[in-house]
Structure 1
């Protein structure tokens, strides 16, 4: 705190009042209070920090950045100012400067639990799990045995494939706190991630007695018994995509080479040069297809189970409306002959069985409308539906084509690499299924 050395803190009452006013949303009064504080101490870094938070709440992000920069200039080694600045950058998806500031403040105050929590939060927002793991390990050196830190560490270790250590942490946590359902749930998810769901069948059955309506537990129970669930619960992938939303585009497009939205957009524009058609984008995610199509003459409706994904898609100002619902519910609740085009890209891998999906899509298409969707490829000599070790479904191409034909759709299928997974290409196919013109 040497950077803020104030013999008589004449601003403290003003600053406390301003912070409370900002939290309550009374920004006009907060501005008046901060102006009083600024007149008393023109170079008080705390005033600029609170001014930045006030500007952010008002939506004036340029002013917020200027205030944070001034705060850091006045007190370059003041941890609270650096931490708030780093958290702000992370909230604005400015992850490179956020991480730099976070690491700096961690060096300045390595033993501060609030700094530790902020740094780990920034690492998670940025999708930088190696950074999160590093600081969680450091936290456990400061606070040995802390149950919350161990849970975060176990989750992150599972996410980077360090399943053995993650399993050991969950085992010890469950042993120490056998009545905490959340810990058993954590152990279940970790065991599923490492491909050993059968080892936690007892945990699953115990939790099912407490939570009989939990569809995710029912899904895990099927896995543990060696069965293939027909569908993945919406709650399961909603949580996953909520956590991925902020870094989804960068990860999927730049790191995994995902180009399907661009390919499909080009295909649609070729058929509809003036882009005057109504489109239902099922599993719209962060709006990659909409960005490739914009601007459109027709309506563009986005559907996704993840609120966080829709928040990212809405930033593009391309979609006319969003629905936060799963694919199956969206299809079953849509009226007949509503859309010219339905897209479902890299989504059915999380849905599973298509016996209801295809006929419902055919029902809500207009005459000559198109249902364009992608699947990961299951071997033709195997079952129609395969749940892979990635927990994504693969579909047998001949079965998918037969479903489309049964629903009265004329199909065109293209095999392609959907994206990279690690160093390996993910084989899949894209179906364009067209509804016949009916008299």
Structure 2
């Protein structure tokens, strides 16, 4: 799968639906989370950084992380061209997420990860008290969205992600539709909604995770 993303990286941003989705999700994050220059943020599974670059001027520092070096190369080009001095790149092939963040967000990532539960819990562990986590992904579908690819999950039921947050002791802040992807399937236009679920970590969350 990483090889696929490496090859697709150069033309990734040419798909207007992707660009529109990133902008729509960024707007929800801005409206829901009190962003400031004091925030140290992480985009997990950043791809070319479409979502992160919509938010980079709203936070203090932003780390782009991914396993696709092709995608990270595109991010590096954007950082250089935009002179984003507070941006960092984390290659998850060679380094682990070992810092603590005030905001962690991802878009269309977890349906590619077999152990999505363990990964989400690890990300929650990388949040400061009072920090926010935002996960955006496909609603549960029948597999037609990725008809040409093999993925471990065909989207998720929203309550599943919400319950993960609640079980970790987080406060559920918002759960809504952030964007609707449209694809032509058997000559018909089909909607594939993308959810945006945001939760906040508090002292109770920390105590619960330590148990």
TM-score w.r.t. length of structure 2: 0.77
Determine the structure 2 residue equivalent to 1:246.
10
1:19-45 CA-to-partner distances (Å, cap 9, x unmatched) read: xxxxxxxxxxxxxxxxxxxxxxxxxxx
CA distance in 2, matches of 1:276, 1:363: 20
Distance 1:351 1:403, change over 3 A: same
Distance 1:410 1:397, change over 3 A: same
Aligned pairs for 1:247-286 within 5 A: 247-251=11-15, 254=16, 256=17, 258-270=19-31, 271-286=33-48
Find the residue that maps to 1:341 and give its secondary structure: strand
Deviation at 1:243, TM superposition (A): 0.8
Deviation at 1:405, TM superposition (A): 1.0
Structure 1: which 4+ aligned runs deviate by more than 6 Å?
none
Deviation at 1:404, TM superposition (A): 1.3
Larger relative helix fraction: 1
Q: Is the 8 A contact 1:259 1:418 kept in 2?
A: no
Q: Is the 8 A contact 2:6 2:70 kept in 1?
A: yes
Q: Is the 8 A contact 2:45 2:67 kept in 1?
A: yes
> Is 1:323 matched with 2:90?
yes
Aligned pairs for 1:66-77 within 5 A: none
Determine the structure 2 residue equivalent to 1:431.
197
Determine the structure 2 residue equivalent to 1:314.
76
Distance 1:436 1:309, change over 3 A: same
Q: Is the 8 A contact 1:366 1:435 kept in 2?
A: yes
- Aligned partner (choices 323, 330, 334) of residue 97 of structure 2: 334
Q: Is the 8 A contact 1:269 1:275 kept in 2?
A: no
Deviation at 1:434, TM superposition (A): 1.1
> Is 1:377 matched with 2:136?
no
1:85-120 CA-to-partner distances (Å, cap 9, x unmatched) read: xxxxxxxxxxxxxxxxxxxxxxxxxxxxxxxxxxxx
Larger relative strand fraction: 2
Q: Is the 8 A contact 1:276 1:296 kept in 2?
A: no
> Is 1:352 matched with 2:114?
yes
Deviation at 1:388, TM superposition (A): 5.9
Determine the structure 2 residue equivalent to 1:410.
171
Q: Is the 8 A contact 1:346 1:375 kept in 2?
A: yes
Deviation at 1:260, TM superposition (A): 3.5
Distance 1:358 1:257, change over 3 A: closer
1:383-428 CA-to-partner distances (Å, cap 9, x unmatched) read: xxxx964434221222222211111112221134442233322123
Q: Is the 8 A contact 1:258 1:418 kept in 2?
A: no
Gaps (5+ residues) in structure 2? none
RMSD over aligned Cα, in angstroms? 2.7
Find the residue that maps to 1:288 and give its secondary structure: coil
Larger Rg: 1
Instruction: Pick 1 or 2: higher relative contact order, CA cutoff 8 A, min separation 6.
Output: 2
Say how many residue pairs are matched: 189
1:117-140 CA-to-partner distances (Å, cap 9, x unmatched) read: xxxxxxxxxxxxxxxxxxxxxxxx
Determine the structure 1 residue equivalent to 2:157.
396
Determine the structure 2 residue equivalent to 1:61.
none
Find the residue that maps to 2:78 and give its secondary structure: coil
